[in-house]
Structure 1
Amino acid sequence: MVNDFLAPNEMMQLHEMLNLKTINMTSSKMMEGVVFDQDLKALLERDVQQDIQSIGELQKLYSKAPKIR
């Protein structure tokens, strides 16, 4: 049997992962402004882009969240 919804503990874990990715993206984006090394700046930009993609994928999982009535 396949469930098309997330259990409460899965919702909590999803929320924690989303918070982690958001904080990581914000930190990397802020560090880009104070870093002068172009290689490091490129790594930070790539990290930001990966985090944006991950956040989008995590947000899609919210559609499986149980609906509150």
Structure 2
Amino acid sequence: MEQNYLAPAETMQIHELLNFKTICMTSSKMMEGVVFDQELKTLFEKDVRQSITAINDLQVLLGKAPKLR
């Protein structure tokens, strides 16, 4: 059975995306408490939910990264 692994460059890019999405989610979550406009607050809540989904998907992809021995 053939195993599909990520190349080192792909692994690094996924780490960078994961860091970016984590920062975006944290910023949106913090802004939720500061914003008074309900429409804007709803957009931040939606961004947090989408970011959590993206973070979970990226973590699954990182499972394909080669393990160091």
Question: TM-score interval w.r.t. the shorter chain?
Answer: over 0.9
1:1-20 matches, cutoff 5 A: 4-20=4-20
CA separation in 1, counterparts of 2:3 and 2:24? 31
Structure 1 residue 3, shift from structure 2 partner: 5.8
- Partner residue in 2 for 1:51: 51
Q: Once the two structures are superposed, what CA deviation does each residue of 1:18-61 show, in whole Å capped at 9, x if it has no partner?
A: 00000000000000010000000000000000000000000001
Superposition misfits of 4+ residues, deviation over 4 angstroms: none
Normalised to the residue count of structure 2, the TM-score between the two structures is 0.94
Aligned length: 68
Question: In the alignment, is residue 66 of structure 1 matched against residue 50 of structure 2?
Answer: no
CA RMSD of aligned residues (A): 1.1
Note the residue ranges of structure 1 that are not aligned, 5 or more in a row.
none
Identical residues among aligned pairs (%): 65
1:36-47 matches, cutoff 5 A: 36-47=36-47
* Matched residue type, 1:57: D
* Matched residue type, 1:42: T
SS at match of 2:35: coil
- Partner residue in 2 for 1:34: 34
